[in-house]
Chains A and B, each alone.
Chain A
Amino acid sequence: MVASTSNGLKRVVIEPVTRVEGHGKVTLLLDEQNKVHQARLHIVEFRGFERFIQGRPFWEVPVLVQRLCGICPVSHHLAAAKAMDRIVGGEQLTPTAEKMRRLMHYGQFFQSHALHFFHLVSPDLLFGFDADVAIRNVIGVAAKYPDLAVQGVMMRKYGQEIILRTAGKKIHGTGAIPGGVNKNLSIAERDFLLKDAEQMLTWARGALKLAKDYTLAHLDELRDFGSFESNHLSLIGASGELDLYHGGLRAITATGEKIFDHVDYQRYLDYIAEEVRPWSYMKFPFIKSLGPERGWYRVGPLARLNTADRIDTPEAEAARQEFMAVTQGKPNNISMAYHWARMIELLHSMEKIHALLHDRDLQGTDLVVRGPRREETVGLIEAPRGTLFHHYVVNKDDQIVRANLIVSTTNNNEPMNRAVQKVAQDHLSGRQLTEGLLNRIEVAIRAYDPCLSCATHALGRMPLEVELLAADGTRLDRRSRG
């Protein structure tokens, strides 16, 4: 995976990028003074789901397509189910069905955000970007901060327990079906989940404080770390509130002006297009009215906090106001602020879970609705990593004939590349490469919590090899781990 280039530049490859979901690599092109000429994040996997679900019956899709991922399959399950609701004319869900799906979704947010923060990111924050790689990992966290490690595991477990009781399985369940759900929440299941709810709220508050304190304490360093101005996009509730399950599309500029607002996502193709670049398997979405050069945008926790006017749970709303105060109420464009934003969402999800568990609608028995049949449909949801688009066309025989998925990480493709370029230029350019310096590139990527294949689960230490080649192709430096 290492090569010298025809224009005399050195090519450095970080492969694979570690402590992210999925497999990717970073390439850097350096000149003889180690000045960075180009930095790119490449996605090296190809999935093909859009092709091989063709011909399958539509009701199978929410269960089939979630196999894209083992971390947030619920996102794909629900996005596809929302799409199929419209195929059976059942998009006006019963209260029980919508609340069961929301509970499933918040459970997933809780486990996914906890996994990312505690297992994947905390080593960088607790030990520093340049710390000895032997301790800068989840095992190091467990040794030095055992309470935090246990919290991370138990919070993830709690989220999975919610998914089990709403989807039928902890991973790859069947709970959401076209027009509704296939089960409600029994009293026994509710009581089981309520038992630990207060503890989870407490731990979520602690995780939020950790992320906030870290960000504020290091703000001078982080403000510019892999940061850049960008547009932001997310779903938004009817009154402008953060809504992770449903709403209209809102896009804003880096300074907060609205590009579009409350857009019915059935018409997303009027607003969003995708650019293909020859060096990546992942497409580059952009806002049509601004074009590919200026129309790229960020999604995920940072974007959601920026687009939302408010959060409808009290503790997360108070946290949001503190968060927005850092940038005087304007959109926050600091890449590393993703972590703080993510932990605000962690607390928001747990507040929502807590409230839902006290809602008697979850014990209702009216689970499915049907209405006039449609043949084309779009399902959108805010996945932990950002806005997730599912678009299907179904023929009269009930088979999928066309599908288009824009997964969350795809939306963040250009931003992640910008972050890599910024860190490479600010921190690596002209310097002798060290593991710690290269880790800074990965730190910037991790802020986005990418799920690079939306399928594989690359947790833990993976083999990493970086070679520095001179302009004539001779090896000047080599570092490896794993």
Chain B
Amino acid sequence: MSATVEFTIDGKEIPAQPGQTILEAAQQAGVYIPRLCWCKGLVPHGSCRVCTVLVNGRPQAACTQPVAPGVVVENNTEKVTALRRNIIEMLFVEGNHFCMFCEKSGNCELQALAYRFGITAPKYPYLFPQRDVDASHPDVLLDRNRCILCGRCVRASRDVDGKHVFDFVGRGPHKRIAVNAAARLAETDLKVADKAVEVCPVGAILKKRVGYAVPVGQRQYDQQPIGSDIEAAPAGGR
């Protein structure tokens, strides 16, 4: 496929097809743009803002912003990195993320991003919100303590599974993930094999009784930082 649009990311010429997003074109060219709410196979959402880049100096979500000829994109620069670090740190303090015993540790995209950005502890105060755990489903655990409101499960359930199990309710700090039932996850038609269960980037939606089956050292991000697969093999990655 011949490229018809050219633009630059951090000074590097990136070929792209019209209609691609900056994130997709970058990924195809082996440039990793960090992301959380974006997920291969789901429509972009542009909500987490971790993929924020500067397009001709203006902050834009790379997962939703289409490519345009000749634009200058800043990705891996001091200014953009500082913005992203702040976003990641805020995601940590807005939930109850205890990596030390979380079974998603080592496979968690939020944790992996923190490691990639060298965040050892957030500089913002923890909010310690009151969140609940919905363990009613026989095969799936919903732990809202760890939800970052990325909406992957919402889109996957609606667009891939065709079920609409999850959705958001509330606004601002009161926004939370809800299930399409009077009360609990068990009352929905969610199945453990659904795409909505698979796509959670953190430990909020988990297959029950899997736990720590993968030993430390063999988990997804134990050896290489998140994004290394894209940088090593263009067009790869999640």
Contact = CB atoms under 8 A, between A and B. Distances in A.
Given A57-B141, A57-B208, A399-B133, A169 B100 contact: no
B124 interface: no
B217 interface: yes
B56 interface: no
B133 A59 contact: no
A52 to B, nearest CB: 11
A398 B218 CA distance: 26
A60 B216 contact: no
A57 B135 contact: yes
A174 B209 contact: no
Contacts of B211: 57, 59-60, 63, 177-178
Interface string A37-76: 0000000000000000001110110011001000000000
Interface in B94-152: 100-101, 103, 133, 135-136, 141
B97 to A, nearest CB: 14
Contacts of B136: 397
Contacts of B208: 57, 398
Most chain A CB neighbours (cut-off 10 Å) among B100, B208, B216: B216
Nearest to A53: B101
B183 interface: no
A194 interface: no
Interface residues of B, number: 18
Contact of B215 (A63, A67, A175, A178): A175
A88 interface: yes
Contacts of A67: 100-101
Most chain B CB neighbours (cut-off 10 Å) among A59, A88, A167, A175:
A59
Q: Which label, helix, strand, loop or mixed, suits the secondary structure of the B interface? A: loop
B42 interface: no
Nearest to A56: B133
Given A57-B141, A168-B217, A172-B100, A63 B212 contact: yes
B74 to A, nearest CB: 38
Contacts of A55: 133, 135
A68 B207 CA distance: 26
Interface of B: 100-101, 103, 133, 135-136, 141, 208-218
22 contacts: A55-B133, A55-B135, A56-B133, A57-B135, A57-B208, A59-B103, A63-B212, A67-B101, A88-B209, A167-B216, A168-B215, A174-B215, A174-B216, A177-B213, A178-B211, A182-B212, A182-B213, A182-B215, A368-B213, A397-B136, A398-B135, A398-B209
Interface of A: 55-57, 59-60, 63-64, 67, 88, 167-169, 172-175, 177-178, 182-183, 368, 397-399
Given A63-B101, A63-B212, A182-B212, 7 more contacts: A60-B101, A60-B211, A63-B211, A172-B100, A178-B209, A182-B213, A397-B136
Q: Which 9 A-B pairs have the closest CB atoms?
A: A168-B216, A59-B211, A174-B212, A397-B135, A183-B215, A64-B101, A182-B215, A168-B215, A63-B101
